[in-house]
Chain A
Amino acid sequence: MHEFSIARAIVGVVEDALDASVHRVAAVRLRVGSLASVVPAALVAAFPYAAAGTRLAGAEVRIDVVAAGGPCMACGDDVDLEPGSFRCPRCGGRLSAMRRGQELEVASVDVEREPVTTPLAGGDRDG
């Protein structure tokens, strides 16, 4: 679903968050819920097109998939659902609410800042 426009939104969010001393983004870490209607491989494939010409060009995209889950009505535990299942993996009960699994967020970025330049002591000798 719209992985390219989502990639563009992510590039925008990251660019807005970083100050001018950041030269380049080397990696972007995303949290994508299993019920977010986003295909991780498609997002990774679309990302370079969205990042071209920005500080995120060439950045590696790492995705943590967040399992769907919430409190089970029957046993009361807060549980993660197995892929494709809606029932509590411990007791088979229904959830009272879907608390997790719809995330689509930028967790963190690895950046390269403007380098620090220091003069070395001496003329032709290393200091």
Chain B
Amino acid sequence: MAETHLDGNVQRLRVTPRYETIDLSTRALVANEHDATRVRVRLAALGALGVNLIGSPGAGKTTLTGAVLRELARRGRRAAALVGDCATDADGRRLAGTGAWVRQLIVGEACHLEAHMIVDALGGFDDDLLDVLLIENVGNLVCPAGFDLGEAERWVCVSVTEGEDKPRKYPATFATADVVVVTKFDLVDASGVDLDELRAAIADAAPAAATYEVSARTGEGVAELVDRLDRGAGEEG
């Protein structure tokens, strides 16, 4: 209880604290979701299908992205790419060699892309039309999983040289996949991977995902993979 002195009299006050439980039911990463929505709106205005490629360092994401960009160009589709790395613009340069609009995003210590980075990067895209935007995430099979980039599809890449355990070792990431791309398929025999077990692990960890077995180097499976972008682009455009 508090006391105040008014005109020489003591005034007693009762101070009653108020406690309350407030229901919020709010997602913690709502700020990223807000930016992901901004990306979706921009891509919809462009008529573009967005793809988020996630995989370990060395899974073959850049080579796959390059092969997809070249195949899309061959089909007369307009494609662009954003590539995230902790350091260097080596991948950005490689992809720019395909002739597509490419921007390199350097994330430093962040180790994953976030939607606000995509918003900023697309601010530099001046064309009115785009069929496909490929976003190659930073090589990392853990951190990118929690960050919606505004993509229409999420492709989780795993190479045959990584062994058949990857989907079981990284269930949280594989659970978010719309598509699983098994890369470097030209090395399937040399790698000694247990392909049956890899396919079973993918089916367990990513039950609703479509699986493609692809060699970006030889071109095996690339056309089928790009067919799904063509179908999507056809629907968007």
Contacts and interface: CB of A to CB of B under 8 A. Distances in A.
Interface of A: 1-2, 6, 9-10, 12-14, 17-18, 26, 30, 35-37, 68, 70, 73, 86-87, 94-98, 101-120, 122-124, 126-127
25 contacts: A9-B30, A13-B24, A13-B28, A30-B28, A35-B172, A37-B145, A86-B171, A96-B208, A98-B207, A105-B25, A105-B26, A106-B25, A106-B28, A107-B24, A108-B25, A109-B22, A109-B24, A110-B20, A111-B21, A113-B17, A113-B20, A117-B13, A118-B13, A120-B12, A120-B13
Interface in B7-33: 9-31
A119 B3 CA distance: 10
Contacts of B15: 115-117
Contacts of A17: 22, 24, 26
Interface string B30-67: 11000000000000000000000000000000000000
A119 B18 contact: no
A6 B16 contact: no
A10 B14 contact: no
B143 interface: yes
A94 B207 contact: yes
Nearest to B201: A86
Contacts of B30: 9, 13
Contact of B146 (A1, A18, A112, A114): A1
Interface centre among A1, A96, A116 (most CB of B within 10 A): A1
Contacts of A122: 12
Given A98-B175, A102-B176, A13 B26 contact: yes
B146 A104 contact: yes
Interface of B: 1-2, 9-31, 142-143, 145-146, 168, 171-173, 175-176, 203-205, 207-208
Nearest to B19: A112
A112 B18 CA distance: 6
A37 B146 contact: yes
Contact of A120 (B14, B20, B25, B29): B14
A96 B204 contact: no
A70 B206 CA distance: 12
A68 B174 CA distance: 13
Contacts of A106: 24-28
A104 B29 CA distance: 8
A107 B2 contact: no
A27 to B, nearest CB: 8
B207 A126 contact: no
A1 B16 contact: no
Given A9-B28, A12-B31, A86-B205, A107 B13 contact: no
